[in-house]
Amino acid sequence: MRLKNALMQENTLICFFTDHGDMLGDHHGWQKETFYESSVRIPFIISYPPLVEEGNVSNDLVSLTDLFGLATTLAGVQELRDGIDILTQKREYLFSFYGRPKTRQFKIMTRYKEWKYIYMANGGREQLFNLQEDPMEMQNLIRTHKKIAEQLRSATLQKCIETPELTSMTENNQLVSYPFEARPLGRLHQFDFSRNITDFSLPSGKGFISEALPNTTKD
């Protein structure tokens, strides 16, 4: 993209980013619904010459939730909502969750430095990866690196306690879990009317796939 003049180049914020990844077979997965890097790691590039040095690469933990704050900050009416001001602030932890709370579908991820912790309510399963040493996330270190596991588990629990939408996932100062149930294998079509795909309808009265699947409903 070519801006019309030098003044525009010096005073224009350009952001390049994408939606989630789609796994494409990594870890035998497809689409999203996981916290593996193939799903959650995306390009996030910004250009703003007054504040961002050209060619600078940062390892800061950032999220798409930061885009709104970035735009409003540079517009002079800062409103961060769920994000931070990535031009002046750094976060210690980055949290992300998927699935409706109080269902087996719920899972939450916590990033900290080179570490990634994942908690899945279905079976109370945990994963811990060192992304610097194991970028393909093949070695689950949850049993061998107990100190960092406990640190990230505690941070995750505290995040759920402090977040109104997630408090239902805590009980007796622990994260809620459900007996493990394997998700039934089957095909879920994407919502694509343009190709005449219409057989994706959910059971009557169900507004979310997570409500329709038998292993994700409330106990």
- Predicted confidence (pLDDT) at residue 175 exceeds the cutoff of 60: yes
Residue 49's pLDDT is 86
Kindly tell me if the per-residue pLDDT of 106 is higher than 60. yes
- Domain limits, the chain: 1-91, 92-182+203-219
Question: What radius of gyration, in Å, describes the C-alpha atoms of the chain?
Answer: 20
- Quick: pLDDT tens for 123-161: 999 999 999 999 999 999 999 999 999 999 999 999 999
pLDDT top residue among 160 and 35: 160
Q: What is the dihedral of CA 32, 37, 42, 46, to 10 degrees?
A: 150
Please give the pLDDT value at position 216: 47
Neighbours of 105 (CB within 10 A): 23
Residue 200 in contact with residue 188, Cβ under 8 Å?
A: yes
Pairing of strands 44-47, 94-98: unpaired
C-alpha dihedral (141, 144, 150, 155), degrees to nearest 10: -20
Domain spanning 92-182+203-219: CATH 3.30.1120.10: yes
